[in-house]
Structure 1
């Protein structure tokens, strides 16, 4: 049921369906309940339910098949959790940037130390 929290109903419905997909309650290949059924389950209008499903379509979590319904898509992540995969990728990127920053600082330090030393002539 959509709660009166100030958060739009279509976002609440999208959150709930997204969570069901994440948990596997709605597995890849499973059809979403009809908009009429979701409307009843969430005590919301058809237009609100359609907006929620539209969000999931835009996120790539579900796909519509003309005349057949809307189905949960296969997700190209091991656990099927795109949010967790994105967070993991972001953590890896941050770690790489930190490592590269440290390496750059060492190179700059070495270069600045070498710049301060007098150069020897090759024939000394």
Structure 2
């Protein structure tokens, strides 16, 4: 993934082109929670899935709908490699958390590089 960085042994910061947003699903354990999976890819066509939960997923979907461009780059800060990998997912699967930072079309050099490749 473009400019994957580790801030410690478990947290990752990634940036990539938004390739797909899966339909939100409701997961029920002790309480109902919304789950959304997005797929990002980079210039080498490496695909990464990021799972978002609850308000994070809801807010992300709203923010994406408000994006006026069809070229979307997303940066995630503070995600972790998933301990559960669905048999339906290829590649690396990451989980976001309430304190993960999600930026749509971030103002950074990596964003501009990805735009030229798209």
- Shorter-chain TM-score bucket reads under 0.3
Larger Rg: 1
TM-score (norm 1): 0.24
Which fold has the larger relative contact order, with Cα–Cα distance below 8 Å and residues 6 or more apart in sequence?
Answer: 2
Structure with more of its chain in strand, by fraction: 2
Q: With the length of structure 2 as denominator, give the TM-score of the two structures.
A: 0.24
**Structure ranking higher in helix proportion:** 1
